[in-house]
Structure 1
């Protein structure tokens, strides 16, 4: 009778044999890295945004409640900076200009963009070329746009001089050098740049409208303007809100266009809140007042975006 020695099986808590643990751990680490690779790639950008965007927003909020001038001061003094801000005449000029510029910029851009979109929606000949021409200005920066329109509107070398050279010596178009009209030159340049973007938004929406509805309206005898006004445009209503929010955000933060086109002048007749903030912070050495004006701009943007986000989220839940 032969006795057999029972084979040894490691207990659950025993260590694995040398040489087999390292590959297992390496495979686990590799699998863990693969699972979290996207997070690892995005983490540096997320950290940078957290610091340089939201971190400095918090810092600006804090500074606005101090008495900071040329250098930051971290002693809280309450809302004195906001009180001083609303006693400055130049701030009221900037707010009035923002209302004029923003209202005209948004309204005219929407009208021009919609008309261009309806025109191209007829699938006219050369549509691709026209679409590129209308959309091209959006590829330029506001600095380039402002510089170009500064030359175009210059009374000595621009439109006024060109028309006079054609034989109309009495023609006058000097808005850019007049205090009462300088802000309207900002509207002209901004509409020229942004209306093509609005056109692209609405053209994409119009191409998604059910053509059977349009054909049925044609059979009922409806005219083309009536079809667009009563059927097509109401069906793309969400695009109106999206375009409005984008244009309003551009209007509130407009800085480079003003600097390149009018410099805020003549005097400060064409100032906007963004240029006012820069003037107070970096030229007048009033950091607290500049921070307070920046918070007013942030509050304006929030007042525009939050209702939009709420409506979008509410609509998504309904779906």
Structure 2
């Protein structure tokens, strides 16, 4: 596998961009047709100050698409009145059912409206991996599915260095536990350092892949670690995010750092409140699985995706976009989230 591979999957209803480095997925960017263009990272709009909240040191801004409104942080000298028109840019996409975080560009006039959408997936990939041509078709679909599985996982096990990593997000912070399983015949001290280095690299990769930010606490292997050595490891691991803020290493082997929020977390995009795949995600997955079958076997005249009626209703117009070789069958006996691709009789 090449050091850097880029994939672009344009399935009806959703576009995914994937970047893999040395066989590991680092980026999974998802944009859906149902997204509000004004909420995408980098989108510029004219907004109207709908409400000022001094306690939050910010204002809620109507971007013309309804609630939830965007949130505009205010400086000490910023005192816009309600109804003020401002030009803003999305600095962080919506998360936790809240609107996007905005950056003020200047004054504006007229009704709230979109001035320029944020970059599409292809443009984002060209910035993250300049000069690398994205793979499409079957390879891109498989990469998109594998990257999703990786993004939703909470652990990494690397037997080569004895690494056992767990990552979890709570309302307050993100916890990363880097653990080590010693092996007979290995230098435990040297292997511990390697496991810490690899653990920090995997933590940085997973945080980017998942789209998580905020306060991160990393529990490293061992106590009384050499602070300068660990800090060099951490800075190298998070070199791709220049706005990372590092805290000191505690005597208990805990490191704190902060990452900016930018994109809607993938777990919020793909899962519902109970941690199961959401209806829209399930419906688009049906279309993606059907498209994979069509591209993998161009000789078969027609394929049909069999799924539960609820998902079929949402997937139907997307399946039509695949052309006459693709069909859909609503089957009440199918479990929610299940899909079976069949050759049409």
The TM-score with structure 2 as length reference comes to 0.24
Name the structure with the higher strand share: 2
Computing the radius of gyration over CA atoms, which structure comes out larger, 1 or 2?
A: 1
Name the structure with the higher helix share: 1
By relative contact order (CA 8 Å, sep 6+), the higher-ranking structure is 1
